[in-house]
A and B are shown apart, each in its own frame.
Chain A
Amino acid sequence: MFKKAGLISLILLMSISLLVIGCGENQNAQEEGLSGNLVLAGSTSVQPLAEELAMRFMELNRNVKIDVAGGGSGAGVESSANGAADIGMASREVKDEELAAHPDLKPIVIAQDGIIVIVNQANPVNELTLVQIKGIFTGEITNWQDVGGKNAAITVINREEGSGTRTAFNEIVLHGESFTDKAAIQNSTGAVKTAVNADENAIGYISMGSMSDQVKGLKVNGVEPTIDNAKNGDYPIARPFNFITKGEPDGLTKAFIDWVMSGEAQEIIQEEGFIPVQ
């Protein structure tokens, strides 16, 4: 009987102490320096970069908490418009319809990013022309041997509807034409990488900054997909990373965005594999 009472009290004590720690505000907060919470949400292409930037900013300002969530560029615009996020992230320009629906949206370009067309490491194809890429993604070209590869059906991997990367790719490469409806859908840059890595015959497109050895990037029109080539415009597929706020940013939001545009942060952006805004 005593043992049981002891056990229960112990559990209760633990729970209550967890909650007390949980409910209490940070009592030791220093009064100087920035403090507060920021929520960023949106593009999964911008997300890794935003997380790195947020981490660094939180190191510099210990009383600040920044949450970075995904959801896609569409969600980024939505959540900044309806207030769910302080900053919406989008890997494309804000669309006209979106500006019409929410006229007070303020996008700021924080970086540029190339889009790499990726294939499996075992795929013999190393380069394609923009026309060929368009043909593949619209479904006109369906076999690798039509573009210099093996005799195998091409597995096209596409991004989901709300993806900014998809919208940008659609505009730049497909010139607005529809993607083939036979494409497989993956919901993020990371998922596209996994899918292409797992399938010899797959082709997809991802953010250049997220490129890794898992997959092989194709030369487009003979140009290597590197940051420098994207920076100087030789590599044709690139798009802006936008931080979107509702109205002019102020307070902590403004402080963060100002810092992101500063030399120190732009260096981080370069280190991470993206193109800083000069």
Chain B
Amino acid sequence: MQARNKLEENFIKYLLLLCAVTAVFIITLLVVFIFRQGLPVFGEHGFLNILLGKAWNPTASIYGILPMTVGTFYVTFLALLIGVPCGLATAIFLAELAGEQVARVIRPAIELLAAIPSVIYGLFGMVVINELIRYMERNWFLNYLPENYRWGYSVLSGAIVLAIMILPTIINISEDALRAVPRAYKEGALALGSTHFQTIFKVILPAAKSGIISAVVLAMGRALGETMALIMVIGNVTMLPQHGLWSIFAPVSTLTGVIALEMGYAGPEHRAALFAVGVVLFCIIAFLNSVALLLIRRGVDN
């Protein structure tokens, strides 16, 4: 009886261990399969040719991903520019200013923002935001924009949609970081005669700095990986944006977008090139997330 119990116990333990290592198993498989498909392309076409090539022309077997890389980072940075101030402000509001009642209105709203599927954001962006931007392009900035920047689909649309989508991430993690600041700091500053706002901006925010930075980095990771909402609003034109500041009205393409759109009809060489894009994307995001994780861990230790 005892022996049978022990056997059962051990069996269950190793079954559960198997469950636990599944995640590691999946990641390994993922890396192996995708890199196996994508890496040879770098060999065939030249690593720099692909990474820095300005033209993406699959019918001519030209696979330069620079336009998509620029597009991805441009939209992401603009989204962070719009989203971080708003998100941080909301986080400060929730951590320091809001009473019970108000928080009970704001928090569910943020949760819901995070739960909405990206295609809904894309649909809204396609129909509403692009209309607004097209109006701006054709009425306010008509004389400053080249013909093909008057379409509505633009970096700006993508950035706006993306900013809304990353708000929950920024708000939640920043708020945690702000709340983690020891009370003593705040009480000390107030006791010395600072106003609440002075305390917030000169004491609490700096103390929460690393947490806030990791919030931004994580949000950046999310933004870099976003696919559906962007495909529906940025135009998917594989060209480098130009004309200085007016380039926010340029239609662009992202690394994620080109994979999603072209996988359906890609021939074998084209498909392999798309996997190579996947490899690049994976490396960028894995790097970014590792940085964020390290920052969070360091923040916790401190």
Name A's B-contacting residues (CB within 8 A): 70-72, 74-75, 78, 142, 153-155, 160-162, 181-185, 187, 198-199, 201
Contact = CB atoms under 8 A, between A and B. Distances in A.
Contact of B267 (A78, A142, A160, A199): A78
By DSSP majority rule, is chain A's interface helix, strand, loop, or mixed? loop
A70 B264 CA distance: 8
Interface in B124-175: 131, 134, 146-148, 150-153
A78 to B, nearest CB: 6
Q: Which of B58, B59, B146, B265 has the most CB of A within 10 A?
A: B265
B122 interface: no
Contact of B264 (A75, A142, A154, A181): A75
Given A184-B153, A185-B235, A185-B236, A160 B261 contact: yes
A83 B10 CA distance: 47
B250 to A, nearest CB: 11
Contacts of A182: 146-148
B180 interface: no
Contact of B58 (A161, A181, A185): A161
A88 to B, nearest CB: 11
Nearest to B148: A182
Contact of A155 (B131, B151, B236, B239): B151
B132 to A, nearest CB: 13
30 contacts: A71-B264, A71-B265, A72-B265, A74-B265, A75-B264, A75-B266, A78-B266, A78-B267, A153-B150, A155-B147, A155-B148, A160-B262, A161-B58, A161-B59, A161-B262, A162-B262, A162-B264, A162-B265, A181-B239, A182-B146, A182-B147, A184-B153, A184-B235, A184-B251, A185-B235, A185-B237, A187-B236, A198-B131, A199-B151, A199-B152
Interface string B243-275: 000000001000000000110111100000000
B57 to A, nearest CB: 8
A78 B265 contact: yes
Contacts of A74: 265-267
B58 A184 contact: no
Contacts, number: 55
Contacts of B267: 74, 78
A145 B273 CA distance: 42
Q: 9 tightest CB-CB pairs across the interface, nearest first?
A: A162-B265, A75-B265, A153-B147, A182-B148, A72-B265, A71-B264, A74-B265, A71-B265, A184-B151
A187 B261 contact: yes
B82 to A, nearest CB: 24
Contacts of B266: 74-75, 78, 162
A263 B244 CA distance: 60
Given A154-B147, A198-B152, 10 more contacts: A70-B264, A71-B265, A72-B265, A74-B267, A78-B267, A153-B150, A155-B150, A160-B261, A185-B236, A187-B236
Contacts of A154: 147
Nearest to B145: A153
Contacts of B239: 181
Given A153-B147, A185-B236, A199 B265 contact: no
A133 B102 CA distance: 60
Q: Which of A78, A155, A161, A198 has the most CB of B within 10 A?
A: A161
Contacts of B235: 184-185
A184 B265 contact: no
Nearest to A76: B265
A81 to B, nearest CB: 9
Contact of A199 (B134, B146, B262): B134
Q: Which of A72, A142, A184 has the most CB of B within 10 A?
A: A184
Contacts of B146: 182
Nearest to A195: B151
A70 B152 CA distance: 26
A72 B264 contact: yes
Contacts of A185: 235-237
Nearest to B55: A181
Interface string B90-133: 00000000000000000000000000000000000000000100
A18 B239 CA distance: 48
A162 B267 CA distance: 9
